[in-house]
Amino acid sequence: MKIKATGPLTVAEYMKEVLTNPIKGYYMHHDMLGEHGDFITSPEISQVFGELIGVWCISEWMSGGKSKSLKLVELGPGKGSLMDDILRVFSQFQHLLNSCDISVHLVEVSPKLSEIQATKLTGSIIETKYDDDSSAYKNGVTKCGLPISWYHDVQDVPEGYTFFIAHEFFDALPIHKLQKTSDGWREMLIDIDPEIPHKLRFVLGSSNSILATLIQADEQRDHVELSPNAAVIIQKLASQINTFGGAALIADYGHSGDKTDTFRGFRAHRLHNVLVDPGTADLTADVDFSFLKSMIGNTVASLGPITQQDFLKNMGIDLRMKVFLI
Ligand SMILES: C[S@@+](CC[C@H](N)C(=O)[O-])C[C@H]1O[C@@H](n2cnc3c(N)ncnc32)[C@H](O)[C@@H]1O
């Protein structure tokens, strides 16, 4: 184990190792979504969720001046259900969109989930490419005839007028945990308990002055969770939207800079101790939307957060559900 070899890990290093290690990472080689998995998400519960996001994309595209080309980028697409539902709405609005050159781009780190996405969205298995020349590791054509590509990192996605969609993606990104002490902010680390072999425990590390610069001077909490990874990604989205146009929709469990310890695990739909049997449970931390907003400053306009219920109501979920009931 890495801790034995190199010493205590930051929580961010631990999350990265547990979730996305290429060999043993939780996300990499199995399907954890759904009734028989560890957790379920809105797109897996109802097609209406993705359909309404499809409506949001089309309404943004229209109010943004009907750009001649549109990249639809999803971060962490899971089983591909959300994108499938969005694309079905796009097909229904073909008469509006036929002058627009649309392409689909999925940012997915998991080989297993990318296979499931390819089967769902293209109807076929797509081989993974291992050459270094292309930023995309899979390319294909969706069932509705749009070009689709897969990337490991959002930095690799080609630029242009883009709608970015991220549903339960930011909460899977590694966080650092910082504790306020009489000596200033110190980072929580994960170490092996010297009393009990194989048992992990949290310990207080030394001060981390670089991370501490990300904490607001007037911070009232004595414990904060910070994701520099999330900061880099949100800044990429903002700078691309600023340069080429488009929008981003980020839906997640989150807060506005008022929660403290939200780091938790889920296994078989139950809360699971994050330090027990790493790699067998999902690890997640609520997204700090105020942090994301502070990281983009005035690069682009940002709205929200609002509750998922309000968003879906604004997009017409009540009307859509009535159609189901008739
Ligand atoms: C909690 S699942 C959500 C899946 C889907 N959006 C949904 O709502 O059903 C997180 C998704 O993000 C992917 N993921 C996690 N960390 C990632 C990373 N660092 N880069 C790219 N994808 C990542 C996972 O493989 C998975 O597809």
Q: How far is the CA of 38 from the centre of ligand 1 (A)?
A: 14
State how far the alpha carbon of 3 is from the alpha carbons of 6, 199, 221, 274, in Å.
Answer: 5, 12, 29, 15
CATH number of 62's domain = 3.40.50.150
Range of the domain at 131: 2-175+223-325
Per-chain mean pLDDT for the chain: 95
Confidence of residue 251 (pLDDT cuts 50, 70, 90): very high
Ligand 1 pocket test: pick from 106, 109, 117, 286 the residue with the most ligand atoms within 8 Å of its Cβ. Answer: 109
Q: What's the pLDDT at 79?
A: 98
Left if phi > 0, otherwise alpha if psi is -120 to 50, otherwise beta: which for 304? left
- 27 in contact with ligand 1, CB cutoff 6 A: yes
Residue 16 CA, closest ligand 1 atom number: 19
The alpha carbon of 35 and the centre of ligand 1 are apart by a number of angstroms equal to 17
Q: Is residue 39 part of a domain?
A: yes
Residue 202 domain flag: no
Comparing 31-35, 214-218, 306-310, the range with the smallest average pLDDT is 214-218
Q: Tell me, using a 6 A CB cutoff, whether residue 110 lines ligand 1.
A: yes
In a domain, 200, yes or no: no
H helix count then E strand count, the chain: 12, 16
Residue 215, in any domain of the structure? no
Contact 78, 43 (CB under 8 A): yes
What are the distances in angstroms from CA 208 to CA 185, 186, 191, 260? 7, 6, 17, 18
pLDDT at 326: 57
Domain membership flag for residue 92: yes
Q: Would you say the CB of residue 107 lies under 6 angstroms from ligand 1?
A: yes
